[in-house]
Amino acid sequence: MAKRRPATAGLDPIIVEARERWQRASEAEEAQRTRILAAKEFRAGNQWDPAIKTAREGKNALQGVGAQPPRPCLTIDRLSQPARQISNSIKTANFAIDVVANGSGADDGTAEIIKGYLRRVQNQARGESPVEWAADGAIEGGMGWFRIRTEYVQEAPDEPGVEVFDQELRLERIANNLTVYCDPSANKPTRSDAKFMFVTEDLAKEEFERLYGDEADLRSLEDFSATGDPVCKDWVTKDTVRRAEYWRVTYTTEKWAVLADGSIQQVDEFPKDALQKRTVQRPVIEGRMICATKVLQELPWVGSRIPLIPVLGEELNVDGKALLRGIVEEGMDAQRMVNFMYSAAVENFALMPKTPILAATGAVDAYKDIYQTLNVYNYSWAPWDAFDAQGRQMPEPKLMPRDAGGVSAGVEMMRISEEAIKATTGMFDPSLGKPDSRDRSGRAIQALQGQADLSTSNYGDGVTRALIYAGEQMVEVLPKITRKGQILHTLGLDDEPEQHVVGQPYIPGKKGKPKILSPEEAQQLQEGEAQFFDPTRGRYAVTVTVGKANATKREEGAAALGELIPHLPPEMAAVATPDYVEQLSFPGAHKIAEKLRKALPPGLRDEEEGGEDPEKQAMQQQIQQLQQALEGKHAEEQAKQQAQMQIASMKMQSEERQTAADLEFQRWKIQTEAETKIAVAELGAKVDRLALFLEERARIGTQETDIAHEATQNEHDRQHEAALSALEHQQAIEQASHAAAIAPEPSPNESGGDV
């Protein structure tokens, strides 16, 4: 018989739609919810069927029926350990959301800042562990949920300002995965194709009235529930009232066209000459808090998908319907077998008869107290009468052997039942910390552990898939909830806090707020000194990398660095030692590391990442500019002094060359004058000898006299010409000396020097 549809007269159309959708989701998920609830109770320790457990509790004697003693009903939990093993492996893993530029103006620097912001969101969620909790629900029953929420940065602002409306993203856990109802037509692993979802919560009537006294009338709710409506029967009880978040997806239609001039525009109607046409269905998310009869409040959301994220276990499709299950449901029958085998073994051992004693009555009559308790106490010896009253020899009492076949069979059945647990969960002894003695090779043990990890890797894949979906939503929402000039807090790779400014140039500051710059100030800085972060530009893709937990990586890094330092040169070892001390994480390690860094020589110190205080940087820049100006002045003075020294040196060299020329000229002049005087003296002597000779010849004869007179005249003319030539030569020498004395000094440029 079909369920009666709820009455809808006089209700808000949103409520009518919500109630119909909720009932459809509830009916579709009823079988799945029953299995999840059974897995939860089974894991909590309720592992016996109620009827069997009642039968084993025993019954008192009735008329005609004997009393039934209670029987063992043990719970030997072998299923929780593999479930914890898989859950803890996910908790200790490091699922890091990675953001990469994906075109349309995106850049790697902005991607790194967004990645640091998502890292901070994950870090803040560690207190609640929403993702890990959802993964545990998937391991347990096949599905878990967590959510994305926006919160105001200042919950209780001290003074008004634009920061009052600043928001940031949060990951939040959903404690009870059965409170989420999803569109049954959604079939994607992330349920991103769902058209609606509900998150329900039952509140005490007093709390409900305190929160929504003005929006909801309890009397009207109670009257409405009295109509026998199957929906209201679940939503309104004697003590509680259910409220629900109702999320739905609506669509707005947009028309885009390539016009005849080549431009792309959004249009109301397609023009006839449009080159290309496209109709876009843009999703809009609407959220409301409702009860069975009214909308209580609006839940705004700027994303394009419902902010509820599922983590799935093993997903099957049976006759077109999705079926989800976790490790608990798979191992329930094997665990029941373990419980039954252990209970039966204990029962058999308890009811097994004690070892009987065969003895003649007369031999033990005097010692009945001892023989009646022989199977209870450990006596050192048991006496008997060897002869009866007539003196006949009595047989020695003997213990009958116990049949051990039933015991060995019970032990074998217990072993088989425990092996069934391992087979259904895929977790064998090496993975549970109990290596098999037959597997003596470490490589063989690692291979078995690898097989167990592979058999349960679908749960880790479910977490990765869910985080990618959550990361895509947060990357989409982040630009829509931040304003220009808002300070965004992020985390670096070593979980070091960083601050960035949205939409304005700034100088990052590690030990304080970043310094926001005007466009003029940003232009005056060199490239790389100022940063600009604009999450609204470009598209970004999201991936998830899975590694070890941060604590494990830090410990491994410290161990590796400790082994490396002894093999480094002294300078490099001194630089690496502060980092090694800081990674040890003992109390005071950070202070000791800072002291070690300060003790390093100036050449080995590293500048702080992210820069110093902006005011200090500005002062340092001014000092550098003054130093550069002083250095320029000093260089100019040095150039002038060098030029003057070069001029003086050239002048000295010129004077030295002039002095050397004068000395050489004086030496040549003296030598020439001496040579001239000697030549004139020799010539005079020759003339005197010739005159004597001619006078002597004159006395000899007149003819010879005429000849001598002519020769004398010729000789006299020659001597006169020689004297004139010598005089002209001396005058030329004196003129050259006078010209050298009055000649100007050569300039440095003419002599080839540089000023």
Residue 754 tokens, joined: 């540089």
Closest CA to 143 of 304, 294, 32, 299: 32
Is 395's pLDDT higher than 80?
yes
Mean pLDDT of 25-35: 92
Residue of higher predicted confidence among 410 and 609? 410
Beta bridge partners of 236: 241
Residue 217: pLDDT band (50, 70, 90) is low
Among 329-343, 366-380, 459-473, name the one with the lowest average pLDDT: 366-380
Q: CB count, 10 Å around CB of 627?
A: 10
Q: CB count, 10 Å around CB of 293?
A: 20
Question: Angle 34-40-43 (CA atoms, 0-180°, nearest 5)?
Answer: 135
Is 746's pLDDT higher than 50?
no
Give the C-alpha separation, 96 to 155, whole Å: 28
Residue of higher predicted confidence among 422 and 287? 287
Query: Rounded to a whole number, what is the distance in angstroms from the first to the last CA of the chain?
Result: 113
Give the C-alpha separation, 548 to 94, whole Å: 5
Is 741's pLDDT higher than 90?
no
Give the C-alpha separation, 138 to 187, whole Å: 17
Long-range contacts of 693-699 (CB under 8 A, 24+ apart): none
Whether the Cβ atoms of residue 166 and residue 483 lie closer than 8 Å to each other: yes
Is 60's pLDDT higher than 50?
yes
Residue of higher predicted confidence among 287 and 729? 287
Is 82's pLDDT higher than 80?
yes
Whether the Cβ atoms of residue 534 and residue 503 lie closer than 8 Å to each other: yes
Residue of higher predicted confidence among 429 and 477? 477
User: For the segment 103-162, what is each residue's pLDDT rounded down to a tens digit?
Assistant: 888 999 999 999 999 999 999 998 889 999 999 999 999 999 999 999 998 876 667 777
Q: How far is CA 559 from CA 4, 93, 567, 697, in A?
A: 68, 20, 14, 133
CA–centroid distance for 277 within its chain: 42
Instruction: Classify the phi-psi angles of 433: left when phi > 0, otherwise alpha if psi is within -120 to 50, otherwise beta.
Output: left
Q: Using DSSP, state whether 190 is helix, strand or coil.
A: coil
pLDDT of residue 466: 95
User: For the segment 618-654, what is each residue's pLDDT rounded down to a tens digit?
Assistant: 556 666 666 666 666 666 777 677 767 776 777 777 6
Mean pLDDT of 89-96: 88
Residue 515 tokens, joined: 């310094």
Residue 98 tokens, joined: 């990675």
Q: Can you give the length of the chain in residues?
A: 755
Among 68-77, 340-349, 652-661, name the one with the lowest average pLDDT: 652-661
In the Cβ-directed half-sphere of 189, how many Cα atoms lie within 13 Å?
A: 19
Is 440's pLDDT higher than 70?
no
pLDDT of residue 4: 47
Whether the Cβ atoms of residue 114 and residue 535 lie closer than 8 Å to each other: yes
pLDDT of residue 622: 62
Token pair 């985390």 is found at 491
Question: What pTM was estimated for this model as a whole?
Answer: 0.67
Is 658's pLDDT higher than 50?
yes
H/E run at residue 171: strand 167-173
DSSP result, 394-424: PPPPEEPPP--HHHHHHHHHHHHHHHHHHHH
DSSP result, 476-499: HHHHHH--TT-EEEEE-TTS-EEE
Residue 580: pLDDT band (50, 70, 90) is confident
Give the C-alpha separation, 640 to 646, whole Å: 10
Among 232-246, 326-340, 387-401, 656-670, name the one with the lowest average pLDDT: 656-670
Is 753's pLDDT higher than 80?
no
Beta strand 264-267 with 276-290: parallel, antiparallel or unpaired?
unpaired
* pLDDT-above-70 percentage for the chain: 69
Closest CA to 100 of 90, 86, 113: 113
Q: CB count, 10 Å around CB of 368?
A: 10
pLDDT of residue 727: 64
Is 749's pLDDT higher than 60?
no
Most confident stretch, 88-92, 160-164, 309-313, 418-422:
309-313
Residue 701: pLDDT band (50, 70, 90) is low
Give the C-alpha separation, 755 to 747, whole Å: 11
User: For the segment 406-416, what is each residue's pLDDT rounded down to a tens digit?
Assistant: 566 667 777 77
Most confident stretch, 155-164, 474-483, 730-739:
474-483
- Helix, strand, coil % over all residues of the chain, rounded to 5: 50, 20, 30
**In whole numbers, what is the pLDDT of the chain averaged over residues?**
78
Q: CB count, 10 Å around CB of 202?
A: 16
User: For the segment 619-629, what is each residue's pLDDT rounded down to a tens digit?
Assistant: 566 666 666 66
Residue 715: pLDDT band (50, 70, 90) is low
Most confident stretch, 54-63, 401-410, 414-423, 492-501:
492-501
Residue 1: pLDDT band (50, 70, 90) is very low
What b/e string do you get for 439-453 counting C-beta neighbours within 10 Å, with b at 16 or more? beeeeebeebbeebe
Residue of higher predicted confidence among 465 and 718? 465
pLDDT of residue 299: 94
Among 35-39, 72-76, 677-681, name the one with the lowest average pLDDT: 677-681
Radius of gyration over every alpha carbon of the chain, rounded to an integer in angstroms: 55
pLDDT of residue 600: 80
Closest CA to 200 of 300, 301, 292, 298: 292
Residue of higher predicted confidence among 159 and 488? 488
pLDDT of residue 592: 84
User: For the segment 352-385, what is each residue's pLDDT rounded down to a tens digit?
Assistant: 656 677 777 777 788 877 777 776 666 777 888 8
Whether the Cβ atoms of residue 284 and residue 249 lie closer than 8 Å to each other: yes
Give the C-alpha separation, 7 to 19, whole Å: 10
Whether the Cβ atoms of residue 393 and residue 400 lie closer than 8 Å to each other: no
Compute, in degrees rounded to 10, the torsion defined by CA atoms 585, 588, 592, 598.
Answer: 110
Mean pLDDT of 555-583: 80
pLDDT of residue 743: 47
Is 311's pLDDT higher than 70?
yes
Mean pLDDT of 665-677: 71
